[in-house]
Structure 1
């Protein structure tokens, strides 16, 4: 039964990875921005649209995700992992499919389908696979979270290449310059943009169905074995008691309802960390390609950069989750935010050094900010318990409802004034503030060590 329990847990993790590979295509927005913006300008949908304004699509998607994640936790408890995840995932896919129509009509309708509708679906489906997997493998919470959300970070590795191969198969260069930004005007490229959304939605929906069918909470026959294997470290204890007395104490100490969680000062530190980290995440994931196009004309190379960055995003989530298990949340988050601050401060230098350094820096930026998505879920579970994890983490994630529009507003209003280097400095400051918050985070286990 031990082997059966372990391997059943691994299949749940696999299901979560498949789901998150599709949800994580939110990171392909940076690759799609030049095609979408060029299409709407070329076909007179919105001739004044520019890349800074296009970031509102990803901002609205992140807002939708933040608004609906707690709802996913509620649906999980009411409907179970399969149905609740599939509802959210297919809602996201429906938003992508409907963009086939909306991108031909209006930028604002595109905001709704590819932004808000997609984001709402992502939020509903996001936390359930992690909460489900942690129940099967409670002794490896950080690693499990890291593996599942590695799919979220790695989705762009697959779909960046698919998007570029479908829309721009001959690696044509942007051939129109406006206010220092480069756009495509080639009809053979732009005519493929709407149908690309139908192709993507079909792929997403199929993967989501398979992944959702693999999700399952532990049945009654597995619960005694799972409880006996539960790692004391993951619940804040360093002792093993055969009579279960320590486990009972820890579970009681670490099981907080959403209302009780809202009364904890450390909840607001986690919330603010996401708020400030979100500025850099939104900015880089949306505009890394637009910045690269200012001195790199090879569209295939930029797609490869996006794919390799996605690998770093996915691998980084596993790495940071494992570091949190090995050391503690505080140490891992301080290093994550500190590294991001360094790389974003020096990002402007890549325009002087060329393609190779640009590739390295983009990958390092994605590697460093990826910690946000495995460390914050792990900290939420360890600090407030797994019983109400879906709702509690959903409340932490509501920071994106504010963070994303702030990022889009600052970008659209300030980029023309402070230019790229000014935006990099501003984002680095936000990351530094988050690093200070992480340093002050103070939740202890029963041995008075940081969780």
Structure 2
């Protein structure tokens, strides 16, 4: 019975990975930006549009995701895992498919479908697959979260290649416009851009349907087994290293200093200075995440005339994004959140400051630097949730982390506004310096993070 339950749990994890592979295509915006911007300029939808202004698409998507995280939990309790997840996932897919129409009409309607609708859907469907899988495998919470979230980080690995192979099968080059920026001018390439959204929307919807069919909460008759002493002890062991500051007495097997566990309500959490440090870390790190994920390809096009290579770079960067989430979480378990976050933000600052050097060294160094940038910023998506749970407790974790995540609602438009207004003034290198400064501020906040567990060690 235990083996059967575990195999059923693994199928739920598989369903979660399939769903998150489609939701994680939010990171394909960087690959799609040159095609979309070139299309709207060429077909006079918005002749003044440029790459910097196109970052509003990914920023609006991030805002939508931040705004709808709470809604996903409410719908889950009201409708169950299948309906609530499918509702959010298909809303995201519908936004992608509808961009077939909106990209021909208006940049602002494109913001609504490919940005806002997609982001709202992602937020609704994001958390439920992980919650379902953890209920089936309570003794493997870290592995479950790592696998599912790695699917989110790795979605671009598949779909960057699909987008480029469909839109630009001949690997044609971009051309300079009157302002010195490179755009696609070929009609045969640009005519495929709207149809690509129908292809993507259909693929997403099909994968999401299969994934949702694999989702389910454990039946009532399994609850006693799942909550058995063996499973509970394994879950406690896992929670010690990954989620909470609860300690276990080695001699008796009982929880020690249980009264010292921090389980703060949302109102109490808002009174903690460490909450605002986490919130501002997310805010400042979000500037670099939005900038790099949206414009790494546009920068690469300034000195690399190989669209296939740039798509491969995006795919490999997506792998680093997914694997990095597991790596940084493991480092936080081995050392502490502070150490891992300081290294994550410090590495990002270094690589973004030296990113301009890749234009002198060419393809190999550019590939390495983009992968390292994605690897370093991926730490936010495993370290900040872990810090939230350890600092404020697991009882109200969902709401508390949702409050931390609200910083993305502000971070995303700030990033888009700064990029669209300043890039033409301070150019690429100035933007790199600005983003590195934000990351350095976040590193200082991480260094000052001083929540202790019951052994008086950093979390």
**2-side partners of 1:200 and 1:184: how far apart?**
21
Whether contact under 8 Å (2:12, 2:214) holds in the other structure is: yes
Structure 1 131/412 Cα, relative in aligned 2: closer, same or farther at 3 Å?
same
Q: 1:347 aligns with which of 355, 358, 369?
A: 355
1:361 equivalent in alignment to 2:364: no
The answer for the alignment partner of 2:378 in structure 1 is: 370
Structure 1 383/226 Cα, relative in aligned 2: closer, same or farther at 3 Å?
farther
- The TM-score, its normalising length taken from structure 1, stands at 0.94
- The TM-score, its normalising length taken from structure 2, stands at 0.93
Whether contact under 8 Å (1:147, 1:317) holds in the other structure is: no
Which deviations, in whole Å up to 9, do the C-alpha atoms of 1:218-271 show, x marking residues without a partner? 451312243221123332134247977527936x83443333332332222111
Structure 1 269/145 Cα, relative in aligned 2: closer, same or farther at 3 Å?
farther
**1-side partners of 2:264 and 2:84: how far apart?**
23
The answer for the alignment partner of 2:248 in structure 1 is: 239
Whether contact under 8 Å (2:246, 2:454) holds in the other structure is: yes
Residue range with higher mean Cα deviation, 241-250 or 101-110: 241-250
Which deviations, in whole Å up to 9, do the C-alpha atoms of 1:315-364 show, x marking residues without a partner? 11111122222222221111111110110010000011111100100000
The answer for the alignment partner of 1:20 in structure 2 is: 20
The answer for the alignment partner of 1:220 in structure 2 is: 223
The answer for the alignment partner of 2:185 in structure 1 is: 185
Q: 2:427 aligns with which of 401, 419, 423?
A: 419
Structure 1 residue 136, shift from structure 2 partner: 4.4
Which deviations, in whole Å up to 9, do the C-alpha atoms of 1:22-77 show, x marking residues without a partner? 11101100000011011111111111111111111111111111111122223233
The answer for the alignment partner of 1:266 in structure 2 is: 274
Structure 1 residue 83, shift from structure 2 partner: 2.3
The answer for the alignment partner of 2:411 in structure 1 is: 403
Structure 1 residue 395, shift from structure 2 partner: 1.6
**1-side partners of 2:265 and 2:435: how far apart?**
34
Q: How many residues align?
A: 450
Structure 1 449/142 Cα, relative in aligned 2: closer, same or farther at 3 Å?
farther
1:281 equivalent in alignment to 2:289: yes
Structure 1 266/371 Cα, relative in aligned 2: closer, same or farther at 3 Å?
same
SS in 1 for 2:458: coil
SS in 2 for 1:220: helix
Whether contact under 8 Å (1:34, 1:183) holds in the other structure is: yes
1:229 equivalent in alignment to 2:237: no
Whether contact under 8 Å (2:19, 2:207) holds in the other structure is: yes
Structure 1 391/112 Cα, relative in aligned 2: closer, same or farther at 3 Å?
same
The answer for the alignment partner of 1:249 in structure 2 is: 258
Which deviations, in whole Å up to 9, do the C-alpha atoms of 1:263-320 show, x marking residues without a partner? 3322221111110000000000000000001101111111111111111111111111
**2-side partners of 1:342 and 1:238: how far apart?**
37
Whether contact under 8 Å (1:141, 1:325) holds in the other structure is: no
The answer for the alignment partner of 2:38 in structure 1 is: 38
- Correspondence 1:87-106 to 2 at 5 A: 87-106=87-106
1:307 equivalent in alignment to 2:315: yes
- Correspondence 1:49-68 to 2 at 5 A: 49-68=49-68
SS in 2 for 1:282: helix
Which deviations, in whole Å up to 9, do the C-alpha atoms of 1:106-147 show, x marking residues without a partner? 000000000011011111111223334444455554443332
The answer for the alignment partner of 1:29 in structure 2 is: 29
SS in 2 for 1:46: coil
Residue range with higher mean Cα deviation, 439-448 or 40-49: 439-448
- Correspondence 1:142-221 to 2 at 5 A: 142-218=142-218, 219-221=222-224
**2-side partners of 1:5 and 1:444: how far apart?**
37
**2-side partners of 1:41 and 1:244: how far apart?**
66
**1-side partners of 2:251 and 2:227: how far apart?**
16
Gaps of 5+ in 1: none
**1-side partners of 2:112 and 2:213: how far apart?**
29
